[in-house]
Structure 1
């Protein structure tokens, strides 16, 4: 039976029993015995500990230590039968354990020969001894077969193991086997099944979920912890300045990255255009080799609404004037790349370095523009303009809103929540409040963003339990897509995968994510929407999650083929659908706090949620510490520690200085404080 332990390949229980035998007493140890005793005192073959042992090692234990198989994690510390029984079987059978056992075997062989002489003497006694030897061989084979049978029976009782075998039927259990790359509903490219990293915890989680069916959920599971003295309300739509004429020239932006990086670049460009008293040209989206989407601004956002909503702030046009289109911007010095603009540059940089170029050439073209404007110090109204752009001016086109509304309605079983968030997200396609008397039926759903695509797995340089195949596959992907990272690995000493995991630098796997959800108290029948592109590992990687939570869906499973067809081959538009489903969820859980989608979704929920839309933000460093105890920790303790870690990050506070207003809009620039009395009156 294959073991799911992290420590290495499986072994039989027989070998573990051999290791557990106490040493035999030696009248006069041979030199070879002394050497082995010295070696054993410096290194314990079973525990891999350097703690000295108080007695010499048994030759049988030494033979077991030299075996290519390692002791099973489930093996007990003592023998199942007494040491005399085992040594009699081994010695009388003439079981070859190496030359170093000759001294130990001779006394036993003499005893066997003396018994032969007493029984029959001569040939008859020899035949009787051979018959006894055959019976003992048969008994030994029977015992080994019994242990293998019990091992198989024990693991077959685990529901998770059965589920994973069913889901991975037809896939070889060998870690070195391979299969053709296939696409399934998780869009993962799978070469071989990925090992289960936390089999014990998954078994405990399955048992806990079964027991929790008749128990109520934790009271704070679907709630956001609030400060009872202060409430916040959106107010970024309020203005207190005059319209910008945009007389200094035109700002062009070619935004890189995916849809969420581009969204941040758009709002930063709006702020820079206002700062420089310039006219903004509708941003251009650069083609990305990872996202592979040719969508432009008007394919995703309503351009007319964007221009009209911000007309009181800046002037926006769809393209450059004819007289400027033929200019060689690089030749005249108007092309500005990310190499020339420091990340999170202050407004003073743009006034000193960019404004002179703009006035001289009438146009500046920013290429990239990823996070090139700081969040502090920024003038109050300029910061508010960024919030106004993100939370009010950017609205998805009708095609995306309509399909996004289908996702939300089907997750809520066609019952909608009337809220400003849905009005802004879905526009005219936002559903009406349910007035049919069915409001008490369950309609809540949890959205989970699994940021576990192959690019994230490769870039993190972490290990996820997939063995040699995984290491080679991720290394090849790094060489193709992150050559600088590959060069760094060859020329510099970088932290180990284990160290990165302990520091919380690794994205949560689906296996870790589902254990977190189970520990928090989400019931087995919870409706879960999973956002994500191509989950690395595909169905094999998702087996643990789908077995514990069967009501798990994606946009691909919620929508018919005709409904999703207009979005195929447009990853940014598909990501927009995920944005809508996650933002509108009753609870949202992220697995990587550095993800732009998770950051923007959590900020959107904070801005429009009125304190009723909780977001689960795992502290990966704390979770890594908890998961490191997976082989010994009990479920109640695991549950308690996970809930404590999440409770501390679930609380929403006012935006810390220098943090993103897109992720933390709870600040005076974006939202307004009101006390409970005013909130009740309003």
Structure 2
């Protein structure tokens, strides 16, 4: 009897131990899931209790923020092919008036180098645009190394510093060459040499097609753009000094082309986030600028279509969502920001470590540059090309040129915001349907997985677009010179 009671006791004890074990497991599991829930609430639902400087950068590997995308063994290849015919002696001349800002002029000049080669003409050093928004009086040699330009191209095209005196008074053929033209078009234009010895080109921008040109012409455009058009020594020297100062602060930096400037906002008709007085000022500027053909613009439609520059506030949200910490050093590559300190404060509240060339350089170092917008833009350009990460708030001429140059130099990390997609995200934040935190970060990072500057071939025209309008929808050759100027691992340099 005693042994039976002992067996029953041991059985009940084992049963109680098993129940206790099950209860303990349930409590541990409940605690675990509670912890996860509270953590997610801390990032998402409870964001109002978190400092606006806080971010999720610790969750993202450092290389995903800073390293260059994998280049797949691609390398530059700009040497002429065996079929290429170099510069030939010619008593025919092309003079050019380059139009637009710095990078519009640069791409136009590179195009005109190729045009002079096709037409077997001597290219006279181009005249730069002095009538643009900035009214810059800089000459070619103020911005570019003129001697280097001539020497670098001597195997491709003859370049003269000026038109020979005896040809200054002879009749010139004044031409507005067709936009996005083929080599066949310029071969046909050689008929002008039967009547004229000098052709003057009134505009240089977009004179050649992006695609379907001979390989040697495309590579010549790259040699002109990336080798021959070197900036003048004073610009190069100061830019390199500023890069060294940036590197000495944090070791690495983001160059942000913050295209939130008066001319761009007026041109695009984008007034979101501005006061009524500011909006009216931009409208008046647009109406008074003769060469801006579109006068009436619906700002809301522009923004929803992704046609507006990101505001400084939006840029701050964007970079924080990507995972960049508040301590990130950001160089602002831009002119005067419209709205000044009031607009910039919305970015600096997220990223207080902002610097400009005016704060990085001394007053004496900038003296001589400050009244020449194209020269200061050249300084911004060099610093942007050499940055660890380049981000543009708008896909204008500089953004496209910097992106193409960084691709050419080895696919340095270049982030191109999906402005149309981001507008929807920002509006959800504004309405309270989305909060900053891990959910926002997931959305933004996924949206930009393929917008980090990784290798890809240049995009062609949009489907369904016909005629000359097709060329307008193509990706610019200078934005992405692959495949003509960038080769695979088994291809020749």
Same fold (TM over 0.5): yes
Q: CA separation in 2, counterparts of 1:659 and 1:392?
A: 22
Tell me how far 1:295 sits from its aligned partner. 0.7
Secondary structure of 2:218's partner? helix
Deviates more, 1:474-483 or 1:638-647: 474-483
Q: Deviations over 1:593-644 (max 9, x none)?
A: 2x11111111111111x34x20000111111121121122022222111111
Q: CA separation in 2, counterparts of 1:389 and 1:204?
A: 53
- 2:153–2:224 contact (8 Å) kept in structure 1: yes
Q: Deviations over 1:182-236 (max 9, x none)?
A: xxxxxxxxxxxxxxxxxx99x8697364255766655411134336xx3211121
After TM superposition, the structure 1 = structure 2 runs for residues 236-635 of structure 1, keeping only pairs within 5 Å, are 236-238=78-80, 240=82, 241-247=84-90, 249-329=92-172, 334-337=173-176, 341-352=177-188, 354-413=189-248, 442-482=250-290, 485=293, 488-489=295-296, 496-593=298-395, 595-608=396-409, 610-611=410-411, 613-630=412-429, 631=431, 632-635=433-436
- 2:100–2:132 contact (8 Å) kept in structure 1: no
Scaled by the length of structure 1, the TM-score of the pair is 0.60
Match of 1:174 in 2: none
Deviates more, 1:562-571 or 1:368-377: 368-377
- 1:248–1:358 contact (8 Å) kept in structure 2: no
Tell me how far 1:286 sits from its aligned partner. 2.3
Q: CA separation in 2, counterparts of 1:308 and 1:390?
A: 14
Scaled by the length of structure 2, the TM-score of the pair is 0.82
Does 1 or 2 have the higher relative contact order (CA < 8 Å, sep 6+)?
2
Q: CA separation in 2, counterparts of 1:261 and 1:445?
A: 26
Q: Deviations over 1:383-429 (max 9, x none)?
A: 11001111111111110111001110000008xxxxxxxxxxxxxxx
Q: CA separation in 2, counterparts of 1:568 and 1:335?
A: 34
- 2:181–2:209 contact (8 Å) kept in structure 1: yes
Q: Which runs of 5+ in 2 are unaligned?
A: 1-43, 461-473
CA RMSD of aligned residues (A): 2.4
Tell me how far 1:274 sits from its aligned partner. 0.6
Consecutive aligned runs of 4 or more in structure 1 exceeding 6 Å deviation:
203-206
Deviates more, 1:551-560 or 1:658-667: 658-667
Q: Deviations over 1:526-546 (max 9, x none)?
A: 111010011111111111111
- 2:55–2:320 contact (8 Å) kept in structure 1: no
Q: Which runs of 5+ in 1 are unaligned?
A: 1-199, 415-441
Change (3 A) 1:246 1:619: farther
Tell me how far 1:666 sits from its aligned partner. 2.4
Q: CA separation in 2, counterparts of 1:204 and 1:380?
A: 57
Change (3 A) 1:343 1:413: same
Change (3 A) 1:604 1:360: same
Residue 671 of structure 1 pairs with residue 473 of structure 2:
no
- 1:249–1:359 contact (8 Å) kept in structure 2: no
- 2:239–2:382 contact (8 Å) kept in structure 1: yes
- 2:171–2:196 contact (8 Å) kept in structure 1: no
Change (3 A) 1:289 1:310: closer
Change (3 A) 1:380 1:527: same
Match of 1:654 in 2: 457
Match of 2:14 in 1: none
Q: Deviations over 1:473-529 (max 9, x none)?
A: 11111122257546x52xxxx5x3222211111111111111111100111111110
Larger radius of gyration: 1
Q: CA separation in 2, counterparts of 1:483 and 1:296?
A: 23
Q: CA separation in 2, counterparts of 1:501 and 1:267?
A: 33
Q: CA separation in 2, counterparts of 1:452 and 1:620?
A: 14
Change (3 A) 1:204 1:287: farther
Q: CA separation in 2, counterparts of 1:288 and 1:205?
A: 52
Q: CA separation in 2, counterparts of 1:501 and 1:213?
A: 29
* Count of aligned positions: 431
- 1:524–1:550 contact (8 Å) kept in structure 2: yes
- 1:282–1:316 contact (8 Å) kept in structure 2: yes
Tell me how far 1:646 sits from its aligned partner. 1.5
Q: CA separation in 2, counterparts of 1:561 and 1:289?
A: 26
Q: Deviations over 1:314-372 (max 9, x none)?
A: 1111111121112343xxxx1113xxx332122222222x3122332111000122212
- 2:136–2:373 contact (8 Å) kept in structure 1: yes
Q: CA separation in 1, counterparts of 2:247 and 2:284?
A: 42
Change (3 A) 1:547 1:270: same
Q: CA separation in 1, counterparts of 2:129 and 2:193?
A: 22
Match of 2:66 in 1: 222
Q: CA separation in 2, counterparts of 1:586 and 1:213?
A: 17
Q: CA separation in 2, counterparts of 1:206 and 1:276?
A: 65
Q: CA separation in 2, counterparts of 1:565 and 1:404?
A: 14
- 1:213–1:524 contact (8 Å) kept in structure 2: no
Match of 1:89 in 2: none
Q: CA separation in 2, counterparts of 1:388 and 1:666?
A: 14
Secondary structure of 1:647's partner? coil
- 2:457–2:482 contact (8 Å) kept in structure 1: yes
- 1:205–1:518 contact (8 Å) kept in structure 2: no
Q: CA separation in 2, counterparts of 1:286 and 1:605?
A: 26
